[in-house]
């Protein structure tokens, strides 16, 4: 199915659909229905798409709420590094300041414990969600979450806390990727970026809640000052289990299992029956059948090994790097916000107050990303985000050489600005790209591997960032910004050379573009025909990506 790419503007990349005839029953009718569904979907306005697919939006939002829980759980432990009751129980005396601190090695252990457990959970999810379906995997993991929360609540030593974080991480790893895959599979193209970017907001809501709860417990002098935030974790699982039980199964997963009639019923549950008929649902499933068959011809299997073979190697690499760049951009300084502010010279109360403003940027920034995604491509936003973050980090680093109180406050304000830029660009757009760049048959595993790359980098950052900020180690303080400026600059170079534009593309189109090895900077203008229907059909066979107005 290769095409001549010497003149991309004139070439049309076409799928060799004749090869699919043996893989699809009633091939001609299915292909015709698939083309009609594809044409209707890509010419749908945002308002029309929401009216038709509002149930899909609702269920995606419900299941994505697991990330609110996880955002709260994962980040709450780092907020304790400046919490008096926690420091009295677990800290050691810093002779220089006369105050208790958590040693940098233990900080690394607490952060990396959940990351290590998360990697295991991620790999299990890549297999389980495809074997048993997203809903069942989600419910079982929530039940495990209820049990694992007992660990941090009743821990008495830092070692017990680290072990508890590892066990909790096993289940957090499942939710990190399952929700992204589900959101990308239940909604049409024009709504896809809203719901996948919304996942970043869920993280932000959880992080904001955790910082608020820890701030509220500062005045509690007993062990309940740090135990109570852990206890609140039990609020989430039961309502989320009920939501997952009632939610429709992913129709794409049902198609991959060969359950086409069940997929049609699932699509019907995800759409408005008045605006989206049974015939519309049938055509929508036909598009899924066609895309799945197309990918089956392109790739040999659906294992993790396949993710690193043939055309899927490039897709996996992009997903992994895009996720890893979330941390390599310097955003990891935000996770240590309280400690960063205290090392900059602010009081404990002031540090926690600014930390609330810092974490509110997860929500505000994600809302801003929706407006950006409406008008600009994913590749453009991601690249510009890295450039802006690098600039802010450079300024923060330079201010680290001044001891004035104005410079200390300015570095704190700039860290808040850094988090806004991150969430308006990299933080939200990352989830959109990883949901789109992998093939549908390998989507769950591609997202799992992407998140694993994030966790590996997170472990590295969990080792070096506490040392950068700790007065008992390197004590760089705001000067750390200079290190991450260099990292963000290299990330921007990678983004320009390797990250393609996926805005408005159907999954079938993306399959063909990757199959033909189209360079990243040519994705936007390439013309693709994934159905190869003869002229004269009601559905135009070629979609010109230079015409973006119809996509909005």
pLDDT tens-digit profile of 253-303? Answer: 999 999 999 999 999 999 999 999 999 999 999 999 988 888 887 766 678
d(CA 542, CA 533): 10
Per-residue confidence (pLDDT) for residue 282, from 0 to 100: 95
Per-residue confidence (pLDDT) for residue 27, from 0 to 100: 78
Kindly state the DSSP code that residue 188 receives in the 8-state scheme.
-
Hey, what are 391's tokens? 């600039």
d(CA 61, CA 433): 19
Which residues in the chain land under pLDDT 50? 1-10, 535-538, 540-552
Query: Is residue 506 within 8 Å of residue 488, measured between CB atoms?
Result: no
Residue 94 phi, psi (nearest 5):
-95, 110
Give the contacts of 200 (CB within 8 A, at least 6 positions apart): 362, 366, 369, 423, 427, 428, 430, 431
* Residue 100 burial (C-beta neighbours within 10 Å; 0-12, 13-18, 19+): middle
d(CA 132, CA 120): 18
Residue 544 phi, psi (nearest 5):
-90, 115
- 44-247+299-516: CATH topology: Growth Hormone; Chain: A; (1.20.1250)
Hey, what are 19's tokens? 């090869």
Beta-bridge partners for 13 = 528
d(CA 195, CA 270): 14
Per-residue confidence (pLDDT) for residue 339, from 0 to 100: 61
Give the contacts of 265 (CB within 8 A, at least 6 positions apart): none
Per-residue confidence (pLDDT) for residue 359, from 0 to 100: 78
Q: Which of 185, 322, 319 is nearest to 254 (CA)?
A: 185
3-state secondary structure of 529: strand
Per-residue confidence (pLDDT) for residue 71, from 0 to 100: 82
Residue 222 CB-half CA count within 13 A: 3
Q: 107-166, pLDDT tens digit by residue? A: 878 878 888 888 898 889 888 998 999 999 999 999 999 999 999 899 888 899 999 989
Beta-bridge partners for 543 = 528
Per-residue confidence (pLDDT) for residue 429, from 0 to 100: 94
Per-residue confidence (pLDDT) for residue 550, from 0 to 100: 38
Per-residue confidence (pLDDT) for residue 338, from 0 to 100: 61
Per-residue confidence (pLDDT) for residue 300, from 0 to 100: 60
Per-residue confidence (pLDDT) for residue 551, from 0 to 100: 39
Predicted model pTM? 0.82
Per-residue confidence (pLDDT) for residue 8, from 0 to 100: 44
d(CA 189, CA 490): 31
Per-residue confidence (pLDDT) for residue 537, from 0 to 100: 45
Burial pattern 33-65, b for ≥16 Cβ within 10 A else e, equals: bbbbbbbbbbebeeeebbebbebbbebbebbbb
Per-residue confidence (pLDDT) for residue 262, from 0 to 100: 96
Hey, what are 245's tokens? 């039980």
Q: Among the residues of 149-188, which ranges form H helices?
A: 150-153, 158-186
Per-residue confidence (pLDDT) for residue 18, from 0 to 100: 67
* Residue 97 burial (C-beta neighbours within 10 Å; 0-12, 13-18, 19+): exposed
């Amino acid at each position: 199915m290769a095409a001549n790419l010497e003149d991309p503007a004139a070439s049309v990349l076409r799928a060799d659909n004749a090869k699919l005839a043996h893989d699809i029953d009633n091939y001609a009718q299915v292909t015709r229905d698939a083309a009609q569904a594809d044409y209707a979907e890509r010419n749908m306005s945002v308002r029309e798409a929401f009216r038709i697919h509002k149930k899909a939006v609702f269920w995606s939002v419900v299941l994505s709420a697991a990330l609110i829980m996880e955002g709260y759980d994962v980040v709450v432990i780092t907020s304790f590094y400046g919490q008096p009751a926690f420091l009295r129980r677990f800290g050691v005396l810093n002779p220089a300041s006369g105050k208790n601190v958590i040693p940098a090695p233990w900080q690394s252990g607490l952060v990396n414990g959940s990351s290590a457990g998360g990697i295991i959970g991620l790999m299990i999810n890549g297999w389980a969600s495809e074997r048993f379906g997203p809903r069942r995997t989600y419910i079982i993991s929530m039940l495990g979450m209820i049990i694992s929360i007992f660990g941090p609540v009743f821990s008495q030593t830092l070692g017990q806390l680290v072990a508890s974080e590892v066990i909790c991480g096993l289940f957090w790893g499942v939710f990190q990727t399952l929700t992204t895959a589900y959101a990308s599979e239940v909604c049409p193209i024009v709504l896809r970026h809203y719901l996948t970017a919304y996942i970043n907001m869920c993280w932000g809501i959880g992080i904001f809640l955790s910082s608020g709860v820890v701030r509220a417990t500062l005045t509690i002098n007993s062990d309940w000052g740090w135990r109570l935030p852990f206890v609140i974790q039990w609020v989430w699982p039961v309502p989320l289990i009920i939501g997952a039980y009632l939610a429709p199964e992913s129709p794409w997963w049902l198609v991959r299992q060969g359950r086409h009639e069940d997929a049609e019923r699932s699509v019907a549950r995800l759409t408005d029956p008045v605006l989206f008929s049974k015939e519309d649902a049938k055509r929508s499933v036909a598009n899924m059948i066609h895309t799945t068959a197309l990918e089956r011809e392109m790739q040999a299997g659906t294992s993790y090994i396949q993710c690193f073979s043939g055309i899927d190697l490039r897709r996996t690499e992009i997903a992994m790097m895009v996720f890893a760049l979330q941390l390599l951009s310097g955003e990891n300084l935000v996770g240590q916000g309280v400690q960063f502010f205290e090392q900059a010279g602010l009081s404990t109360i002031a540090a926690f107050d600014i930390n609330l403003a810092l974490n509110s940027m997860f929500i505000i920034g994600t809302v801003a990303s929706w407006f950006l995604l409406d008008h600009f491509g994913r590749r453009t936003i991601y690249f510009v985000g890295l450039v802006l973050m690098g600039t802010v980090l450079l300024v923060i680093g330079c201010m680290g050489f001044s001891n004035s109180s104005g410079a200390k406050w300015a570095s704190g304000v700039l860290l808040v600005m850094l988090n806004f830029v991150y969430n308006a660009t990299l933080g939200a757009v990352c989830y959109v790209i990883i949901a789109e760049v992998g093939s549908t048959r390998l989507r769950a595993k591609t997202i799992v591997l992407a998140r694993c790359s994030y966790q590996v980098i997170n472990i590295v950052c969990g080792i070096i960032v506490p040392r950068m900020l700790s007065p008992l180690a390197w004590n760089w303080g705001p000067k750390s910004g200079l290190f991450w400026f260099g990292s963000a600059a290299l990330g921007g170079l990678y983004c320009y050379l390797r990250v393609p534009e996926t805005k408005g593309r159907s999954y079938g189109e993306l399959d063909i573009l990757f199959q033909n090895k189209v360079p990243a900077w040519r994705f936007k203008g390439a013309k693709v025909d994934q159905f190869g229907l003869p002229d004269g059909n009601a559905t135009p066979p070629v979609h010109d990506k230079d015409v973006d107005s119809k996509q909005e």
